[in-house]
Chains A and B, each alone.
Chain A
Amino acid sequence: MTASVATRTEVAAKAVDVWKIYGTGEAQVHALGGVSVELEKGHFTAIMGPSGSGKSTLMHCLAGLDAVSRGEVYIGDSKITGLSDRGLTNLRRTKVGFIFQQFNLLPTLTAEENILLPLSISGRKPDQAWFDTVIETVGLRDRLKHRPSQLSGGQQQRVACARALVSRPEVIFADEPTGNLDSRSGAEVLSFLRNSVRDFGQTIVMVTHDPNAASYADRVIFLADGHIVDELHAPTADAVLDRLKRLDKAV
């Protein structure tokens, strides 16, 4: 039991009874109502749920982009709840990476400069071998000198993935990374994410409402009305769709 349990319980990020309340009085919205969740290291976790269920809010709270109303959030072993702006910046520099739905890249920089930006901002040198590996994996070798405007949407998203990977963060958070892509480019990005989990042991947390996207993950967490209502391991697209339908009925 010891070895396998130890590996399984090694946690990349966790939320402990996290509440997120917007507004006051009549207009109060409980975006998260006491969410507790542990996200394992080296796993690809998808957060799913209907629109407005609190997926983005949960991800923002986990990533330290938003302050929680109550509860605590940990990245690795360190508590991030209550950190100062400087502390949070340090966290972003070393421990987390982001992939957003759009506007991921600076238009003034080339693909390569965009990929290396988190490192250069914090004054770190890239590990050349790792950089090469990442570039090979995303297949962008011949696009490195291009600017974002010269790249397709799928290519741009792959650049964003490479950027998130290159600083080897403890967790990569991705909010609907394929939301704006056609299905083929989306599939490319998703398999790339899954490969980086499998091959490099990267931890990834992805918000999505697309069952097909969720099927790339190791584990799917279902949210509804700010609560975790269900989860699936090693999901298939059909299984996810099935759960979602049941959830919709329940709501």
Chain B
Amino acid sequence: MLRATLKSLLSRKLRLVLSGLAVVLGVMFVSGAFVLTDTMGRSFDSLFSSVYQGIDVNVTQKPKVGGDQDVGPSQQGNIPAATLDKVRAVPGVASVTGDATADGARVIGKNGKVVTTFGPPRLGGNWVGTSDLLQLREGRAPAADNEIVVNVTTAKSAGGLKVGDDVGVLTLQPGKKVFKLVGIFGYSGDRDSLGGSLEVLFTTPVAQELMLGEKDVYSGINVTAAAGVTNEKLRDDVAAALGGEAGGFQVKTGKQLTDETTKSFREGLAFFNNVLIGFAGVALFVGTFLILNTFSIIVAQRTRELALMRALGGSRGQTLGSVIIEAVAIGLIASVLGLAAGVGVGVLLAWVFGNVSGVALASVGVPAAAVISAFVVGLLVTVVAAVLPALRASRIPPIAALQEVATPDRPLTKLTVSGALIGAAGGTMLGLGLAGQGDNTLWLILGGVLVSFIGVALLTPLLARPVVSLLGRLFSWSVPGKLGRLNSGRNPRRTAITAAALMVGLALITGVNVILASAKQSLSSQASTQVTVDLIISGDGDDNGPAKFDPAVMDAAAKLPGVSSAASEYWDFAQVDGNGTGISATPDMAAYASMFKLTATEGTLQWTGPDQAVIDTENAKKRNLTLGSTMTMQFTRGEPHQVKIVGLYQRSDVMGGTIVSGDVVKDYRSAQPSWGYLRVSDGASVDAIQKQVDQLLVDNPEVSVANRAEYVDAQSAQFDQLLVMIQVLLALAILIAVLGIVNTLALSVLERTRELGLLRAIGMRRAQTMRMVTVEAVVISTFGALLGLAVGTGLGAAVVRALKDDGFTKLAFPWSQMATYLLLAALVGVIAAVLPSIRASRVNVLQAISHD
């Protein structure tokens, strides 16, 4: 039995290659993700261990904001210089170095633009001399207040800085400062940076002032142990000397720091890994359709063979077994190939990543997770997809062997009913997930989408006949077109499942598109109805929050003739009543309220003293706050503030939450605004004022001034990037769907060899034959696309409806985008048809018509 199975396996190479390829691609994606993240993880491990090389014990202030379970990165408090002396006095201490480093030193490159990174920080710190780790490559150490050194990566990214250049740097203090570059440094092992970080080192007093905002303070203290003292002992001694827990310090060994950094980084990587695997899951889901189809076809074609086996005494179990064995064989081979390809892809991506980020790559390894997932996924998907057809095969009565095998045209009632039920279940899950607020909502939504897809896929055969015949009318002007259309309607199940595979990817893309288009439209309608701002100053941000600019610009802008009112907004992470959150502050609440058309429902929207706040009524209710209640707010620096609520307002689609009085921003990480809002008086030219404000911003290259329309566009641009990324990641699912079309067509051509021969015998040209096959492909692919567009629109609309309260006030359909997808799908059909149609046109008339 086994030998018979394997033999027939080999005799259907093409189809096996195609369906195997779907599994290979999916497995490749999964194992590639594991290899990539594993290599990256180990690369960073070795990087982090060297970052803290030479530090035995490190002291920092307990962060006032952030850190543990928080939204933002931890914001270190400053340590007074006197603490260094305390540490120095601890027995067992060999040396003590004060570190004055913070993220946010942004070098302005040769092109006048701020140098950016793909995530690594832009550190500004104090020069403490060379070490085993840090080496001067060129020039000398900074000695005067106007001198800096930068690492090689910074010099390169800024467009080739040279020793002696004047370099503009933005720090956490307002305004651009210009320094003389006196040296360029690198790290041991010939590294230009540590993990792509950009570093600017000042003299210690300058670093303290610009990066920490205070004189004579440090962000951390690095300690080395004297000979014979263990790091752990030294840590405990230093901690004790600084007052233990109550002293407000965190004392850690270098190894602890390494482990912590590694751990948080690994968590980030794990998330990244999950995203990749999510997309691989979509691809594999689509691949399942393809394999299911292939096995149904194989079984249908082998009805006689299988029935003969049954007639000769084979049991149902053996029939079932023979199909499953095929599935296992394909799954195994595909897993091995997929794993190999995945390792290749992972290595390639890691190499690209290493080159872009400047991180030295660890040796490539294949983690067990990659191997296990490859085989589990590959085998599981294949066997699951083969089970249904196998069951059907086992039910073939032996008598079928003796009869002429007609393609069974079973009624679709059962399928339709189960499709409707499953679709309804999926819709319900989706609805519950979108409406719910619990922890399981994401799973409910994802599960709902998945189940809905299966439901729709089951309903597709029912739709196939009418839709396909309708679609096909477009092509019926030519005889080959008509024949192609008729062919695509011949086996509604096969057409349907092939189209459904394409549907999945397109539905997801369309859904995301609908959501983003609605977001865009909501944004622009809100901008025009709920905001009275004419010009907005803003910029992109990084991990530490949105870009900031010099508050002096706002003062100057407010005085420009034609500017009728101005308001600025500051932003930082803070602990509010113990919870980490981002918080906005504005010095002039009245102006701010009028910009956003906010009106007081209680109290006033105006500051009458320091430490005041306004809050929207919904949030107030949720947090049990009323007019006059106080909130305890801890900002990055300083002592906690008791902030009193002086007004409540009705939230709008663009504005909600707590806004604090401007006096608190002195305790912000950087006392610079992130947004400036200007209103232009009637009759004045917005354009002219925009140009003037632009001039005011020359020393603030991270922000720019935009009118309302430009601002909305710039915000939407982020959506477009997101969309491109999702499209790229879903391309794999679409590719697999295309393989499915190729597979189905190749099969049709094979099955209809006789017909093709007949057609050629009665005068059909090669080109006409090719056109006939192409029309069949295009009908299938546009059918799939239409399904995808319909389902995606439904999904997107459901999500938008569910997010109505979160600012999605408008439901918009990206018609032109959708039309593009439809056209692309038709093109995909044409491409998928290339090989099968060539094959069809090469059919040997004689062999085709000569029977037996």
Contacts and interface: CB of A to CB of B under 8 A. Distances in A.
A93 B763 contact: yes
A60 B846 contact: yes
Interface string B753-766: 01100111111111
Contacts of B486: 108-109
5 closest A-B pairs by CB: A93-B763, A108-B486, A92-B763, A118-B762, A120-B479
A203 interface: no
21 contacts: A65-B761, A65-B846, A66-B846, A86-B765, A89-B760, A89-B763, A89-B766, A92-B760, A92-B761, A92-B762, A98-B761, A103-B754, A103-B758, A103-B851, A106-B483, A106-B755, A108-B483, A120-B479, A121-B759, A121-B762, A121-B768
B255 interface: no
B13 to A, nearest CB: 26
Contact of B763 (A66, A100, A102, A122): A122
Contact of A117 (B489, B762, B850): B762
A98 B725 CA distance: 57
A85 B758 contact: no
A103 B763 contact: no
A163 B849 contact: no
B487 A121 contact: no
B624 to A, nearest CB: 72
Contacts of A107: 490, 755
A66 B765 CA distance: 17
A97 B762 CA distance: 7
A54 B474 CA distance: 47
Contact of A100 (B490, B760, B764, B849): B849
Nearest to B849: A100
A229 to B, nearest CB: 24
A175 to B, nearest CB: 8
Interface in A89-105: 89, 92-93, 97-98, 100-104
A155 B110 CA distance: 86
A103 B753 CA distance: 11
A163 B762 contact: yes
Nearest to A173: B761
B606 to A, nearest CB: 79
Nearest to B489: A108
A196 interface: no
Interface string B809-852: 00000000000000000000000000000000000011001110
Interface string B737-774: 00000000000000000110011111111101000000
B759 A89 contact: no
Contacts, number: 62
A118 B763 contact: yes
B845 A65 contact: yes
Nearest to B480: A121
Nearest to A85: B766
The residue in B480, B754, B768, B849 that gathers the most chain A C-beta atoms within 10 A of its C-beta is B849
Given A97-B762, A100-B761, A100-B849, 17 more contacts: A65-B761, A65-B849, A85-B766, A89-B766, A92-B761, A98-B761, A98-B762, A103-B754, A103-B851, A106-B483, A106-B755, A108-B489, A121-B479, A121-B759, A121-B762, A121-B768, A123-B479
Contacts of A117: 479, 759, 762
Nearest to A108: B486
Contacts of A121: 479-480, 759, 762-764, 768
B767 to A, nearest CB: 10
A56 interface: yes
Given A102-B851, A108-B486, A108-B487, A89 B765 contact: yes
Contacts of B849: 65, 100, 103
B759 A106 contact: yes
A42 to B, nearest CB: 22
Interface in B766-786: 766, 768
A120 B482 CA distance: 11
Given A102-B851, A103-B851, A121-B759, A89 B487 contact: no
A121 B849 CA distance: 19
Contacts of B480: 121
A163 B761 CA distance: 12
A117 B763 CA distance: 9
A106 B850 contact: no
B58 to A, nearest CB: 79
Interface in A154-179: 163
The residue in B489, B761, B766, B846 that gathers the most chain A C-beta atoms within 10 A of its C-beta is B761
A63 B765 CA distance: 17
B844 to A, nearest CB: 9
Contacts of B762: 92, 97-98, 117-118, 121, 163
Interface string A109-126: 100000001101111000
Contacts of A93: 763
Interface in A49-87: 56, 60, 65-66, 85-86
Contacts of A92: 760-763
A98 B765 CA distance: 16
Contacts of A65: 761, 845-846, 849
A29 to B, nearest CB: 15
Contacts of A123: 479
B40 to A, nearest CB: 55
B839 to A, nearest CB: 15
Contacts of A101: 851
B490 to A, nearest CB: 6
A31 B351 CA distance: 64
A5 B479 CA distance: 44
The residue in B754, B768, B845 that gathers the most chain A C-beta atoms within 10 A of its C-beta is B845
Contacts of A118: 762-763
A100 B765 contact: no
Nearest to B407: A107
Given A65-B761, A100-B758, A122-B763, A56 B851 contact: no
B676 to A, nearest CB: 69
Contacts of B766: 85, 89
Nearest to A179: B851
A123 B851 CA distance: 29
Nearest to A60: B846
B486 to A, nearest CB: 4
A97 B850 CA distance: 16
A59 B605 CA distance: 100
Nearest to A118: B762
Contacts of A100: 758, 761, 849
